Amino acid sequence: MAQIHPSSCVHPDAQLADDVVIGPFCLVGPKVSIGAGTVLRSHVVVEGRTKIGEGNVIYAGASVGCDPQDKKYAGEDTALIVGDRNVIRENCTLSIGTTQDQGLTQVGSDNLFMANVHVAHDCRVGSGTILANNVALAGHVVVEDFAIIGGQSGVHQFVRVGAHSMVGGASGLLRDLPPFVICSGNPAGPHGLNTVGLRRHGFTDNMVRAIHQAYRLLYREGLTVKEALEQMAPLLETFPEARNELQHFIDFVANSPRGLIR
């Protein structure tokens, strides 16, 4: 049976795994589902149609499944899904989705959201990401796996942050950040590859070399995006070890409705 502090208010319709721990002064709504091993430390609000997976730790003041900060929202029964083993620190806010999108905000697993992070409505956050203190994701943002966003940074609505990329602190990201790339500034501009992060995740020297060739074509040769994409295609045969990573980079660049940081 879940361990619920007597000062907390948990709706009888909420679905809690047997070993969930609800600390003091928490509020859990009727449409909430919380998986095994998840801990709400204290003063946590979980509401809306929210599903939280296993092994998460949510710290004081967090509001998970809160209404979107969107004037078009009119109480629709939209949702938030959170995966497993996430750490959600103090005063984070994660909103449910809106009917203007797919009605769903989604967070993967093994993420670290430091204090005061805001994940707005209809965002898609992958797995293994780090969002440092006071990062704000506007609505409909996509953050791919293993991306890192530095503290005090803001991401404009509908922007995509590519896998294994890194955003420097106090940056304003107004356009898409390709996978594997470092950016900083306001507005943010490209500053090379996240080579340290790539090697930490097992990328070989040859794989890093292949991605660097793609980066050079996009950012260092004075080419248009279309021209750069045309010259990237042969790299798939030149670097078969990095074929999947190169293809992801190419596909991301080729399908960027907001445009890329340049």
Torsion-angle region of residue 189: left (phi > 0), alpha (psi -120 to 50) or beta? beta
Give 71's contacts (C-beta < 8 A, 6+ positions apart). Answer: none
Instruction: Look up residue 117 and give its two tokens.
Output: 């992070």
Q: Is the distance from CB of 124 to CB of 161 less than 8 angstroms?
A: no
Is 121 a catalytic site residue? Answer: yes
Is 139 a catalytic site residue? Answer: yes
Compute CA distances 57 → 127, 168, 200, 201, whole Å: 15, 26, 25, 24
d(CA 170, CA 186) in angstroms, rounded, equals 8
Catalytic residue among 35, 65, 84, 122: 122
Q: Is the distance from CB of 62 to CB of 91 less than 8 angstroms?
A: yes
The CB-side HSE value for 75 (13 A sphere, CA atoms) comes to 0
Is 43 a catalytic site residue? Answer: no
Catalytic residue among 35, 139, 150, 162: 139
Instruction: Look up residue 258 and give its two tokens.
Output: 């907001």
User: Which H or E run contains 193?
Assistant: strand 188-193
Compute CA distances 108 → 143, 146, 175, 257, whole Å: 10, 11, 23, 24
Number of neighbouring beta carbons within 10 Å of residue 230 = 12
Residue where the block lists tokens 């399908």: 255
Number of neighbouring beta carbons within 10 Å of residue 2 = 17
User: Catalytic residue positions?
Assistant: 121-122, 139
